Protein backbone atom coordinates (compact mmCIF):
# COMPACT_ATOMS: atom_id res chain seq x y z
CA UNK A 1 0.00 0.00 0.00
CA UNK A 2 1.36 3.41 -0.93
CA UNK A 3 1.54 6.39 1.41
CA UNK A 4 -0.89 8.27 -0.86
CA UNK A 5 -3.46 5.52 -0.53
CA UNK A 6 -2.95 5.29 3.23
CA UNK A 7 -3.41 9.02 3.85
CA UNK A 8 -6.16 9.65 1.29
CA UNK A 9 -9.59 10.46 2.67
CA UNK A 10 -11.21 8.02 0.27
CA UNK A 11 -11.31 4.30 0.72
CA UNK A 12 -9.99 2.44 3.75
CA UNK A 13 -7.08 4.73 4.66
CA UNK A 14 -8.74 6.51 7.60
CA UNK A 15 -9.87 3.20 9.07
CA UNK A 16 -6.38 1.76 8.81
CA UNK A 17 -4.85 4.86 10.40
CA UNK A 18 -7.45 4.71 13.17
CA UNK A 19 -6.74 1.05 13.81
CA UNK A 20 -2.99 1.69 13.94
CA UNK A 21 -3.54 4.68 16.22
CA UNK A 22 -5.70 2.72 18.65
CA UNK A 23 -3.20 -0.14 18.63
CA UNK A 24 -0.29 2.19 19.39
CA UNK A 25 -2.30 3.91 22.14
CA UNK A 26 -3.09 0.55 23.76
CA UNK A 27 0.56 -0.52 23.59
CA UNK A 28 1.63 2.78 25.19
CA UNK A 29 -1.02 2.43 27.89
CA UNK A 30 0.10 -1.14 28.67
CA UNK A 31 3.76 -0.12 28.81
CA UNK A 32 2.92 2.76 31.15
CA UNK A 33 0.86 0.50 33.39
CA UNK A 34 3.64 -2.08 33.58
CA UNK A 35 6.23 0.63 34.29
CA UNK A 36 4.13 2.13 37.10
CA UNK A 37 3.47 -1.30 38.60
CA UNK A 38 7.18 -2.19 38.54
CA UNK A 39 8.07 1.18 40.06
CA UNK A 40 5.55 0.68 42.88
CA UNK A 41 6.85 -2.83 43.51
CA UNK A 42 10.46 -1.60 43.74
CA UNK A 43 9.40 1.18 46.11
CA UNK A 44 7.49 -1.26 48.34
CA UNK A 45 10.51 -3.57 48.45
CA UNK A 46 12.76 -0.64 49.44
CA UNK A 47 10.35 0.41 52.19
CA UNK A 48 10.26 -3.14 53.57
CA UNK A 49 14.08 -3.22 53.56
CA UNK A 50 14.17 0.00 55.58
CA UNK A 51 15.53 2.31 52.91
CA UNK A 52 12.73 4.87 52.79
CA UNK A 53 13.76 6.83 49.69
Rounded Cα distance, 53 and 51, in Å:
6
Q: Which domain holds residue 34?
A: 3-51
Whether the pLDDT of residue 11 is over 80: the answer is no
**What value does the mean pLDDT take over residues 3-30?**
86
Return d(Cα 52, Cα 49) in angstroms, integer. 8
Decide: pTM greater than 0.75.
Answer: no
Report the pLDDT averaged over residues 3-22. Answer: 81
> 16 or 8: whose pLDDT is higher?
16
Amino acid sequence: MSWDALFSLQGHGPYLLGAYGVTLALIAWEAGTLWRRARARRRAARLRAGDGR
